[in-house]
Chains A and B, each alone.
Chain A
């Protein structure tokens, strides 16, 4: 053994030991809470096409928004799809410091109050049984519909039902009206329901966004980047590929035409459109959230106000694909 090699042996052994021993432990996949909602399916499409590695991203399918909110509060998921009132509720809980990654869609009729045909206006809801999931966007929508008709929540008989039970309850006439969202909304309409009120009447009120826990975002900026890029690719794929739309339609249990009709009511926003909502220095969404918070406070759907600016404040080093 030459002098040099002999001298290197201890150093090499030490270096190898340190490198092997100091490697970080493999990370568990990032868990993202989803619900049965058309735009959520785009991430499934991204995973199907290999843009989101299943070993790095785990899409968890919850049956309703309440479960998603609970999951992100309990740190069971790192990110979740939430509507703006749910974002406020999560932030208000104080357990989570949420950051809005991107605005994914705007409900333009995707959320609605649907009733049996003998009811024709929101005013007809007085003293009727209305199925709604408490603490969700549906509650907010119902409040708007009732106020428009000069009623209040006290004027109707609320039946707290998760969305997956809405169709069955409606068919059995256990309730007179249902506050629900796509795709259940379309299913109830097909079952003979009539729409009394929808988010067509409340533009920009019901926006959904992908929200991430701040601590997770700070420690996993690259994964947030990958997520946003996959989202954008999935949007492009869905808009350009019949096959992609057909795949999504299969997941939401409808035809391609049915999916197209759903997407007219749930307008999916690209990253560029999302950036318009989240643009610095004063995000447009901030004013919308502030107005929404005031309405929720007035309606008693939110106990206290919460600061909104932190939701738009990204760790400065992490400005990337999501924020442009």
Chain B
């Protein structure tokens, strides 16, 4: 858009030029004045600023000096730091005489040389400031310095520093520099001055605008109006449109311009009146012609003048409206161009008759083709117009549009047809019992009675791609689905009706281009029009009824309304049929639920009679429960799961698969693998999940069980005992998604409670069984220990004597072989005796704090050798050290025994798992002796043949074996049992025939760090000596053997057969005795320990070696008191005894520490 510049005339007028001149003048004055005013203002500001800031600088100087005098410079630093708050202060520094910054507004400048560049001073300014600083130091007077651009003002103030050592007066030389930045303040002042000038400019502008307006109103406008009136008068135009006949220009006033205007009006009035009269006459003539023309054009019916050749000469708007062409188009158009082809021949005949003067007027009913293609029915009355000589000139025609009347007649016919169809359909509806039959018959009636070309019913299929599914066609159009395949793809009237819930009509397929394949197919099949009517139920269209006709415009409004009612009746009929069907289904569901309740009730009644005997009975009961639950709830999988001692792993007690009737167990589930699932279980009473794959609570199980087992829905119920979740019951459903009924959940909950009770019963019985077993084994152990003790004494003699005989060079060769056999068999007997002692917990053990993980690791290599290549061994160690107080050799023997036992259970190979874990044992898994403490657990698991239930109670008994004769001693597990008991632990076993065995060994965990095992030293030759030794031994054979040996090594020997006897010997030779060797277990009321104590009361430094076949009667206190004494177990080799004697006499460490079973 162009800028609306004033016209040249306006520009040259007084009202513009005078204000423009004034504006330019003021602008020039303003431009000249502003710099001057700004300079004056800045000078004044600088003076004021310097004066006021000097006061502040002086105050800072004073406070800083005071702070320096009081040695409180940190306080002054606070003030220097805060100076940055002031807008104008750029920097503040306190400089010592050596130019070192002491205080500053910037902390990082302190204790550094003064850097003028850092203060923001330009390079050119710095020499000037340094000069000023020198002057101030010299004069002691404050000075200020403006920068060259006068935007910076620096105050340099002298400061007095405190008196230094050896000085009488305070030293000047320190300076305070305050750098001010005035640029911001100056910019503010400059802007304020600009604002004042701006206000002045606005005032000037308003004044000149007012001046221009005044000039315009009083002078220029009035002259222009007069000028304008004169111009119009000269051109003969009226001066004022509302003042007919008057030339009075609209100018008022009595000044010079007003008087001039009145003189002009007087002159113009005379001429103007004559002009007005002449114009009125011309207007009357023009109106007469218009009236004649409009008679034709305002006629309500069509009128036309048609030439004898058939061309339109003149037409009126009514005819134009009928045919849709403009008057100009018709004037160049032939009559036949707008006439229906079927009516043209009749027109020609009528024209000929009139031209032949057979008739004067013709009346015809015919059809016009409207410009938009529609047909218009008209009634034409035509007459021939003759000229003065009687010759034909043209035709005059009157055309009346009768289309609506014709259409009403057709509508009536259609309505009758629709009513007949409705009547027939209602008959069908009344008798219908089946939905598909109903729809098919309805379609049949439509085609037969309604005479439609085709009728069909489609239902909406709301899938991923909404479709229309044909559900019914007339019986005689069986091939119709192929021909109506187009309907499935939407986009036609059927789809539109379903989408909108309103009827959809296509009046003529040939006249439309939309509709895609449906339109093309319809045209090909000869359909011209189509209507689709929605079938409504619950406020939405669930389908539609479609009717096709071979006629165009076959469905008018009335017929469509009737058909809509019919469609509603059909929809009602369908809904009613469906409602009846649903009622039947509901009744069926109710009956099914009642049957289900009855099943659940019966199942619960049976289950509550369950009773648990031993472990096998418990498993049987659990299996029967899972079977009943699976059958009652009709679920594919029912599992009973139980948490282990640590709570982190859940093991399957039984998993029943129904209806295959397969039981499975041994599965495990780690809580770490599916925390959300376990969290949900812990917080829920019943965890009922309809879609296990998408539900967040069970989604973690997707890879593990949901997808592999094709599980769709799950219901899990925690099994709780005393408020603690000890396991859960799981029901898994496959097939369609399943919503768990409340009664089903209640049933599962009841079963879970029942399981809780059963598990509690089983645990209690297990503990009772363990107690009975322990008591029995204790009795057997006492018996075995007693036998072993006697055997040890005997074997000591046999071995000792055999060793002597074997070492004697005088013995012949054949006798030496016999002695060797004797020694070997005695050693085997010794080994058996040791195992018996181990079982009976009466063998001496050397305890220390060891790591169970390390013990297992030590035997790893040995195990691979012992087990062979057919067995795959897996070791898993606890993450933390499992410190236990034990004899590491004994622990190794436990591992070895259990591994060998597993090997024998897997004759054809298998898998052996050995792992260790830290267990917080409590509740049913606690040791009866020490509940609620931590235990180191060793698990040995094989998948071998398992142990028969009837053998389980006896496996720890000595000499009990199921192996062939000669293949086992029957002491392996018994020994293991004894070792574990002796270490304060206990052992558990679970075994299933055909599936394997799991041994769990628990040792009490100690809090100390285990020590590493020192390497064993090489044996050395038997050393000799000359000291005196008192040997106290009730077994004469053993006593004689020891005496003979030690005498052979050079020692002096005293002997006694009992404690009292030894005291008597002591009374005589006590001063000579260097070492006491005494059996611990002796008759006559005094054992070896008591004897040693008795003798040590007389000589505390007496050295003692204890010997024993077992430690049956050695109390814990005894052991504690004699912890530092030496010990050797029977049977012993002579060499070992000789080395121990020498080491003890020499004051070395004892070789063994006797420990009772209570250790």
Contacts and interface: CB of A to CB of B under 8 A. Distances in A.
Interface of A: 3-4, 6-7, 9-10, 13-14, 17-18, 20-26, 28-29, 31, 36, 44, 55, 58-63, 67, 71, 76-77, 162, 164-165, 250-251
B84 A59 contact: yes
Contacts of B74: 63, 164-165
Given A20-B197, A25-B192, A26-B187, A10 B23 contact: yes
A257 to B, nearest CB: 19
B804 interface: no
Given A13-B27, A14-B205, A25-B191, A61 B184 contact: no
B710 to A, nearest CB: 42
Contacts of A20: 194, 197-198
Q: Please indicate which of the listed interface residues B84, B106, B194 has the most CB atoms of chain A within 10 Å of its own CB.
A: B84
B201 A63 contact: no
Contacts of B187: 25-26
14 contacts: A6-B20, A10-B23, A14-B202, A17-B201, A18-B198, A20-B198, A21-B194, A22-B195, A25-B187, A25-B191, A58-B85, A63-B81, A71-B82, A251-B107
Given A10-B20, A13-B23, A251-B108, A26 B184 contact: yes
A26 B202 contact: no
Contact of A63 (B8, B78, B205): B78
A6 B201 CA distance: 18
Contacts of A24: 191
A22 B202 CA distance: 12
Contact of B202 (A18, A28, A61, A71): A18
A7 B6 contact: yes
B24 interface: yes
Q: Please indicate which of the listed interface residues A10, A18, A55, A60 has the most CB atoms of chain B within 10 Å of its own CB.
A: A10
Contacts of B107: 36, 61, 251
Interface string B3-27: 1011110010000000110011001
B506 interface: no
Contact of A4 (B3, B23, B188): B3
A58 B85 CA distance: 8
A17 B85 contact: no
B504 interface: no
B184 A60 contact: no
A168 B64 CA distance: 20
Q: Please indicate which of the listed interface residues B20, B24, B81 has the most CB atoms of chain A within 10 Å of its own CB.
A: B81
B195 A21 contact: yes
A29 B81 contact: no
Nearest to A64: B78
Nearest to B3: A4
Contact of A61 (B19, B81, B188, B201): B81
B6 A22 contact: no
Interface in B75-98: 77-78, 81-82, 84-85, 87
Nearest to A63: B78
B667 interface: no
B934 interface: no
B365 interface: no
Contact of A28 (B3, B24, B184, B205): B184
Interface string B60-79: 00000000000000100110
B105 interface: yes
Nearest to A27: B184
Nearest to A250: B108
Interface string B196-228: 111111100100100000000000000000000
Contacts of A23: 191, 194
A71 B85 contact: yes
A36 B110 CA distance: 13
Contacts of B19: 10
Contacts of A63: 74, 77-78, 81
B26 to A, nearest CB: 8
A242 B84 CA distance: 29
A204 to B, nearest CB: 26
Contacts of A14: 201-202, 205
Given A10-B208, A17-B197, A62 B82 contact: yes
A77 B85 contact: yes
A3 B11 contact: yes
Contact of B78 (A18, A67, A76): A67
Nearest to A55: B184
Closest 4 CB pairs of A and B: A21-B198, A17-B201, A60-B84, A61-B81
A26 B191 CA distance: 8
Given A21-B195, A21-B201, A76 B84 contact: no
B8 A21 contact: no
A129 B1004 CA distance: 51
A66 to B, nearest CB: 10
Contacts of B24: 9, 13
B87 A28 contact: yes
A67 B82 contact: yes
A6 B5 CA distance: 10
Contacts of A13: 23-24, 27, 201, 205
B252 to A, nearest CB: 30
Nearest to A77: B85
Nearest to B81: A61
Contacts of A77: 85
A228 to B, nearest CB: 22
Contacts of A3: 5-8, 11
Given A23-B194, A26-B184, A44-B108, 5 more contacts: A6-B11, A13-B23, A17-B198, A24-B191, A67-B78
B23 A164 contact: no
Nearest to B181: A55
A162 B77 CA distance: 12
Nearest to B88: A28
A6 B860 CA distance: 110
A165 B27 CA distance: 64
Nearest to A18: B198
A164 B82 contact: no
A322 B704 CA distance: 46
A26 B5 contact: no
A40 to B, nearest CB: 10
Q: Please indicate which of the listed interface residues A4, A25, A36, A251 has the most CB atoms of chain B within 10 Å of its own CB.
A: A25
A17 B198 CA distance: 5
Nearest to A44: B108
A169 to B, nearest CB: 11
Q: Please indicate which of the listed interface residues B87, B198, B200 has the most CB atoms of chain A within 10 Å of its own CB.
A: B198
A264 to B, nearest CB: 23
Contacts of B191: 23-26
Nearest to B83: A60
B105 A61 contact: yes
A194 B20 CA distance: 86
Contacts of A22: 195, 198
A13 B188 CA distance: 23
Nearest to A168: B74
Contacts of B11: 3, 6-7
A105 B1118 CA distance: 65
Q: Please indicate which of the listed interface residues A3, A28, A61, A164 has the most CB atoms of chain B within 10 Å of its own CB.
A: A61
Contacts of A25: 187-188, 191-192
Nearest to B120: A54
A60 B81 contact: yes
Nearest to A12: B27
A23 B198 CA distance: 10
B103 to A, nearest CB: 11
Contacts of B85: 31, 58, 60, 71, 76-77
A71 B82 CA distance: 9
A60 B198 CA distance: 37
Contacts of A21: 194-199, 201
Contacts of B8: 3
Contacts of A162: 78
A45 to B, nearest CB: 11
A58 B208 CA distance: 47
A52 B195 CA distance: 30
